[in-house]
Amino acid sequence: MIVPAHWAEASRQHRASGKQITVRRFGWSEHSPAEAQAMAEARAGDALARAIAGEKLPRRERKVPYNGAEGVPIREEILANVGDAVITRNSYGARCLNTPYVFFADIDHPEGASLRTHLGSFLLVLVAGAIAAWFFGHQIFGVILTLIGLSGTARAVDFFWRRRVRSHGGLEGLALERVERCVRRDPSLGLRVYRTPRGLRVLATNRSFDPLEPAVQELFRALEVDPLYARMCTRQRCFRARLSAKPWRIGISEHLKPRPGVWPVRPEQRPRRERWVAEYERRARDFAACFHVATYGNPEFDPRVRPVVELHDAECRALEVGMPLA
């Protein structure tokens, strides 16, 4: 995991046979702007050489803070370094915890049956219609049966999905069942579970994890974690958890200034950003990012994990029952 304090950009050009190739690359450093600039120059030179040799590659890297960054570290303002963990401010203004070895995973509750379930049901209806046409020897009969089946499939899928949700005590019950299955399959696991505004957050306490190890991907799949989050953990080689409220949930309609919130910002723009941040922090202190609801499996804490758990719980106000979630 790398969260640099300094950023720079460099460009390189090459003209031949009336055509010009221009490439731009970022550089970064945890130590100095000069080191970041030197890295940018070296990366730009390497990219230009590869482009001249005929390799197809992006001529310019997108300036993005976290989601979508390929081969570029997290580009966010560093608020604090706590051991190996780094607290940053994300592109919409919330504080986030980034850690290279403490497993975090957010589970968002679905609003309905999955697309895979719907597609599977539609496929079954199509197959049933084809079999009926073959069996009765009437293609028209098969088409009519298929159309009738398709018209009611979506409603039937949603009906049975809602029944399943109710039978498990709601969406949270379904998600907790997945957590329980994980610890039954691996009794060494210790999973600490929190309620978020849209679902659950799971934190592993029994040991440290490398985001690239197969066990992490298996846990992500078993918990049905957002695929984008799982992919970003691999790309950035770190786990991540939001520590403070989302602005729009606490009555702040204006975006973090200046837009699009990518760090660093020019000195003349800092006062606007600082005014926005001050108002955000004033309102956010009255809200919790998540609440601790249960712990499953192995009760032992890995010594490296405990400080991160305590930091997370304090920053999220996860043990202060009764506060509104945002």
Q: What pLDDT, in 10s, does the model give residues 276-325?
A: 999 999 999 999 999 999 999 999 999 999 999 999 999 999 999 889 99
Selection from 200, 220, 195, 214 nearest residue 291 by Cα: 195
Residue 243's closest CA among 79, 110, 128, 22?
A: 79
CB 150 within 8 A of CB 261: no
User: What share of the chain has pLDDT > 70, as a percent?
Assistant: 79
Can you give the pTM of this predicted structure? 0.80
43 in Cβ contact with 60 (< 8 Å): no
Q: Could you give the percent of the chain with pLDDT greater than 90?
A: 58
Distance from C-alpha of 97 to C-alpha of 289, rounded to nearest angstrom: 12
Q: How far apart are CA 179 and CA 162, in angstroms?
A: 20
Please say whether the beta carbons of 154 and 118 come within 8 A: yes
Q: What is the pLDDT of residues 128-185, one digit of tens each?
A: 545 544 455 555 644 555 555 445 555 554 554 455 545 555 667 778 889 999 999 9
Name the token pair of 54: 């005929």
Lowest mean pLDDT among 20-34, 64-78, 80-94, 208-222: 64-78
Tell me how far apart the alpha carbons of residues 152 and 77 are, in angstroms, rounded to a whole number.
51
The 10s digit of each residue's pLDDT in 200-210 is: 999 999 999 99
